[in-house]
Amino acid sequence: MSSFEWFKPLLRWKSRRDSSQTVDTGTFLQAPPGIRNIAHWEENCRKIHARAKDLIEGKIGVIEAARSLHLLSIWTSAQKDEDFLVFHEIDFGIIGLPVGSERQYWAKHALEQQDVTIHALEEYWISAALISAHRLVKKYRWALAARQRRRMLGTPRKSKRSNIGDSS
């Protein structure tokens, strides 16, 4: 069994994906039930837009995008949205692999072995991730206008509870 075989059960997502799905790009989304801090929710929605755009522009890789977007989907109660499923699958597929800051704790020879698997995983998922990222950019474009509206009205920003995706 190759090092790439272990995550094949996760690939069911790719086979059921409907690439003809359309998205609404011109409306503000309503916060899901249970969201009390609308400004915080809108800010996380803006981060979704930013991370998806960063992936499309090549500023971040597939794995970094998957980690961020999976968390942001949970924080915005959007984890059941079909366009987040690919990032959910990627994020679960990298469990146990040396990605991010944990790489510093791995031996060089072990990193070299695991990098083959990581590279294969990224290559496999890049096209599906980019398709979903384009859709997320369109779906969450409204969040940029929401941020601008908050700034013009003087609505305070959310508290600094998370810094995922704060670069945009």
Residue 111 forms part of a structural domain: yes
Q: % helix / strand / coil in the chain, to the nearest 5?
A: 65, 0, 35
The tens digit of pLDDT for each residue in 83-131 reads: 999 999 998 888 888 887 888 889 999 999 888 988 888 899 999 999 9
Residue 123 forms part of a structural domain: yes
Question: Greatest CA separation found in the chain?
Answer: 59
Quickly state the pLDDT bin for 28 (edges 50, 70, 90).
low
Q: How far apart are CA 69 and CA 153, in angstroms?
A: 28
Residue 75 forms part of a structural domain: yes
DSSP structure class, residue 25? -
- Domain range for 127 is 36-153
Residue 6 is predicted with a pLDDT of 44
Residue 76 forms part of a structural domain: yes
The tens digit of pLDDT for each residue in 62-74 reads: 998 999 999 999 9
Residue 128 forms part of a structural domain: yes
Which residue type occupies 150? R
Q: How far apart are CA 9 and CA 42, in angstroms?
A: 34
> How many structural domains compose the chain?
1
Percent of the chain past pLDDT 70, that is, above it, reads 75
